[in-house]
Structure formats: C-alpha cells, structure tokens
C-alpha cells in the first residue's frame, strides 16, 4: 500500500526527524529590541502606528515569494546531475550603445548555493544613457532540463527582487525601467522550472554582489 | 509495517500553544501590516528561526542573522500571502536564504550543527567548532524543524493518529481497530492534524488530504 501513496516525501522527512529538530533555543534578550529599532517600531513612534519603516515603494515588480523556492527540490537533483554545456555566454560582448559605461562589477560564484557550475563568472552593469544593462559572462551552464536559467537582481535585505529574464547566448539583459541597480546589488542566476510559477525557485547556481 | 516507533519529536516543546484561529489571525495581521504583528510573529516563531540560524551559522552569528530575517520579512511583509501558506514556513524560507548568504559572506560553508548535550540550551551557546554534519542540506533541516513544529502543536491523540496514518501507513479503519477509537474520531483527528501540517509544510510535502488515500 505504501508504494501507492504520494506521501513519500513527508514520510521520508518524518523518518529523518530527530530530537534536535524539536529543540528550540531562546534568542538572546536584546534581539527583539534590535529588530524593533531597525524597523523603527519603537514606543517613541507610536504616533505613527500604521507607518512602520518598510521598503520604499518601487516600480511594479514581479511578485516573488521568497519561500516558494522549496517546492522544487526533487526535480533539481536530476538537473544538477545532467551537466551539458550550452556554450560560453556573453564573454566580452560590449555592443550596447556607444555611451554605455561600466558602473559596477561582480564576481559571481556557486559557493554555498544549491546548484553549482565550474568556472569563472562575472557580471557588470552598464549605464547606457540612464538605461541599465546587466552583462553576464558565465561558463558553459548545465542543461536547464525542464526549465530555464533565470537572472535576478536582489536587494541586500533579500526582501525584494526583479527578474531580468532568461539567460541566453547574448548574456545581456536590461534592468526594468526605474530599477536602480544600487538598490539591487545582488546578482543571482537560478534554475526555474517551466511550471508557470514566476517566483524565484531558490535553486540558485551563481550569485554575487555588485561593487559600485 | 514496522512496529518500531517513529523518531519522537521530544525535548523542549517547540511551539507556543496557540489555537489555529490565533495563528491565522496573526498571519492575517502580518499580511495587513499591523504594526504589532512583527512582535507577535517574533514571539510565535522567533525561537524556531533563531534555533535554525544557530544550527546553520553558529550561535555567534545567529542573533544577527535572525535579526536580518525578521527585518527582511517585515520589509517584504506585503508579499506575504496567508492564502499561499503559513507565516512559519514563509519566515523559514527567508531564514534559509539569509543563512546561506551569511555563510557565503564568511567564505565558508559550515556543516549543519546538531543540538547536542554539550550545548547549553538556555543561552544557545555552542561548542567552538562546528559539529559534524549528519544532514547538511539546509532545506531538509528547515523542513524537519517545521514538521517538528507542526507535530508539537498536536495533542497526543491526534499526533498518534497521524503517526499511524502517515508514518506507519495504516488505514483509518486499521487505526480505529488498533486504538479502539471510533472511526469518526480517527478521521476528524487526522483531518485536523493534516491541516496543521499543511500550514507548516511546502506544497510538495503536502500530505494527501482525501480519506481515499488511507482507505483500501
């Protein structure tokens, strides 16, 4: 009977449950105060109780659920294993408008990420007369079987992000109008399965922070 | 059918004893940007997030990372949609991201730590060196902690029914026979338990909800 059950993941998770997993440590006493101070929720500001310090309004952005990333781990195992080169991308192609200046650069790596690719990778931001472009130079990527490699820029709080689109042979992607790259200095490339879910899968393969 | 008991979620109780209504109310208030909601979310989930961070990045850095998690969560508060899942897994998702980033900033990728005897649970202090990793996967640790959290919210009877149904794979009828509980009670206990698990877990771990799955 168990073979017919679709609950293998839950059962396997449950099977791996140890006593440690139910242990809860008490956060240090000052931690809440530090959080409250950082988001400006303090007794002194109660006169503005409905206006806690939230991120400033930005141009309409794709809605990203940061937690949506967890639902796809199974498929990624196969993807990560199937490393098939698709050719180096974008190296040294600087054909943006003649006024394009490099304003920031980042080394992007697979360190600590769920997926990995060997080789050097970098990203630069070009300012083409007020239009920002991200130019990527990446090694041969694994085959994004069943999905695409999607490029994101993320803020340092990891509270907001923008998709720049799919990594293609060009390696150059425009930032959405109104998006200031200094607000979104983290460059991230993730595997996104073709499942209609526009949110970040959490399955990142390359990431780095731009230096302005 | 293995006769052995599943690993019990023991040690200190994981979750505060709140009702589903209280929990849902908090989630709605958080989504609505209620200024008290962040404090309530911290009270409800802070120790789980902090513990997760201790296990991922160590007790020295866990306070800072925990702070980052709640600050980031509040700044992204309008993205939280209670219809799509609970606040606990949403916060945990942010915590995973922040921990991985913290480790990257360190230039290291520390193995998962275990909460062992040598830990002082009262102050969260950890041994100097990282513990050997038994399961280094961040997602897995987060999911296990969320499952433990969900199980802790169940009363003993409901948890036992859930264990028999989803761990030991008994049918509702078999559970009724094994426990002497009326079939209707078994079903309602399991339905209630599954709702708790659904709140805490991801889609792909979402247990089957239909009675068909447990009936031959």
The pLDDT of residue B16 is 44
How many CB atoms are located within 10 Å of the residue A169 CB?
11
A52 vs B99 pLDDT, higher one: B99
B20 vs A209 pLDDT, higher one: A209
Place of tokens 């800072």: B64
- pLDDT band, very low/low/confident/very high, at B3 (cuts 50, 70, 90): very low
Report chain A residues whose CB lies below 8 A from the CB of B147: 10, 13-14, 17, 21
pLDDT of residue A72 exceeding 60? no
Q: Please give the structure tokens belonging to residue A33.
A: 């105060």
- pLDDT band, very low/low/confident/very high, at A88 (cuts 50, 70, 90): very low
The answer to whether the Cβ–Cβ distance between B207 and A7 falls below 8 Å is: yes
pLDDT of residue A170 exceeding 50? yes
- For A38, the closest chain B residue by CA position comes to B71
For all residues of chain B together, what is the average pLDDT? 75
Residues B183-196 pLDDT 10s? 999 999 888 888 88
Cβ neighbours of residue A175 closer than 8 Å, sequence gap 6 or more: A125, A131, A132, A133, A134, A153, A162, A164, A181, A184
Q: Please give the structure tokens belonging to residue B139.
A: 């997602």
Indicate the residue of B33, B93, B149 with minimum beta-carbon distance to A70: B93
The pLDDT of residue B21 is 83
Look at the pTM and tell me if it is higher than 0.90. Answer: no
Q: How far is CA A8 from the centre of its chain?
A: 29
The pLDDT of residue B67 is 94
Three-state DSSP state, A9: helix
Which helix (H) or strand (E) is B75 found in, with range?
Answer: helix B62-75
The pLDDT of residue B175 is 92
Indicate the residue of A17, A27, A112 with minimum beta-carbon distance to B104: A112
- For A4, the closest chain B residue by CA position comes to B213
The pLDDT of B20-49, averaged and rounded, is 90
Residue B140 touches partner A, C-beta closer than 8 Å: yes
The CA distance from B211 to B176, in Å, is: 14
> B138-152 and B183-200 helices cross at what angle (nearest 10)?
140
A3 vs B39 pLDDT, higher one: B39
Distances from the Cα of A148 to the Cα of A144, A151, A166, B97, B186, angstroms: 5, 10, 6, 21, 45
The CA distance from A134 to B163, in Å, is: 51
For all residues of chain A together, what is the average pLDDT? 70
The pLDDT of residue B124 is 38
ipTM of the complex: 0.73
> In chain B, positions 42-101, which contact chain A (CB-CB < 8 Å)?
42, 46-48, 50-51, 54-55, 63, 66-68, 70-79, 81, 84-85, 89-90, 92-94, 96-98, 100-101
* Helices of type H across chain A: 8-15, 31-38, 73-81
User: Phi/psi class of residue B12: alpha, beta or left (left: φ > 0; alpha: ψ in -120 to 50)?
Assistant: beta
The pLDDT of B33-39, averaged and rounded, is 89
Three-state DSSP state, B118: coil
The CA distance from B163 to B145, in Å, is: 17
Residues A4-21 pLDDT 10s? 333 567 778 888 888 889
Q: Please give the structure tokens belonging to residue A160.
A: 């907001």
Residues B101-156 pLDDT 10s? 888 776 655 455 555 433 333 333 333 333 323 335 688 899 899 999 888 888 88
pLDDT of residue B66 exceeding 50? yes
Buried b (16+ CB within 10 A) or exposed e, A38-70: ebebeeeeeeeeeebeebeeeeeeeebbbbbbb
User: Phi/psi class of residue A185: alpha, beta or left (left: φ > 0; alpha: ψ in -120 to 50)?
Assistant: alpha
pLDDT of residue A47 exceeding 60? no
Indicate the residue of A9, A22, A52 with minimum beta-carbon distance to B9: A22
């Amino acid at each position: 009977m168990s073979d017919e059950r679709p609950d293998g993941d839950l059962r396997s998770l449950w099977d791996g449950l140890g006593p440690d997993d139910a242990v809860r440590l008490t956060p240090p006493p000052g931690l809440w105060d530090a959080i409250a101070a950082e988001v400006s929720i303090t007794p002194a500001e109660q006169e503005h109780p409905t206006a806690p310090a939230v991120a400033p309004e930005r141009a309409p952005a794709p809605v990203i659920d940061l937690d949506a990333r967890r639902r796809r781990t199974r498929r990624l195992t196969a993807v990560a294993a199937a490393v098939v080169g698709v050719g180096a991308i974008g190296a040294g192609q600087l054909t943006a408008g003649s006024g394009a200046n490099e304003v920031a650069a980042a080394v992007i790596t697979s360190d600590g990420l769920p997926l990995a690719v060997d080789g050097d990778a970098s990203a630069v931001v070009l300012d083409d007369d007020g239009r920002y472009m991200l130019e990527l130079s990446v090694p041969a990527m694994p085959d994004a079987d069943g999905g695409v490699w999607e490029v994101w820029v993320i803020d340092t709080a990891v509270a907001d992000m923008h998709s720049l689109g799919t990594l293609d042979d060009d390696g150059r992607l425009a930032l959405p109008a109104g998006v200031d790259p200094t607000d979104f200095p983290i460059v991230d490339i993730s595997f996104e399965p073709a499942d209609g879910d526009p949110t970040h899968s959490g399955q990142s393969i390359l990431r780095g922070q731009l230096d302005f | 059918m293995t006769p052995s008991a599943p690993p019990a979620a023991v040690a200190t109780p994981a979750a505060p004893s709140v009702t589903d209504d209280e929990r849902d109310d908090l989630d709605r208030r958080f989504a609505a940007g209620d200024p008290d909601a962040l404090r309530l979310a911290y009270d409800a989930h802070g120790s789980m997030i902090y513990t997760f961070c201790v296990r991922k990045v160590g007790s020295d850095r866990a306070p800072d990372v925990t702070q980052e998690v709640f600050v980031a969560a509040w700044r992204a508060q309008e993205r939280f949609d209670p219809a799509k899942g609970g606040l606990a897994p949403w916060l945990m998702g942010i915590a995973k991201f922040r921990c991985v980033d913290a480790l990257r900033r360190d230039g290291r990728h520390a193995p998962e730590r275990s909460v062992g005897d040598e830990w002082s649970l009262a102050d969260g202090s950890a041994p100097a060196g990282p513990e050997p990793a038994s399961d280094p996967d961040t997602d897995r640790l987060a999911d296990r902690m969320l499952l433990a959290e969900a199980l802790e919210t169940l009363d003993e009877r409901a948890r036992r029914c859930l264990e028999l149904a989803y761990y030991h794979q008994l049918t509702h009828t078999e559970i009724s026979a094994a426990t002497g509980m009326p079939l209707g009670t078994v079903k309602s206990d399991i339905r209630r338990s599954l709702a708790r698990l659904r709140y805490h877990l991801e889609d792909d771990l979402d247990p089957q909800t239909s009675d068909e799955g447990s009936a031959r």
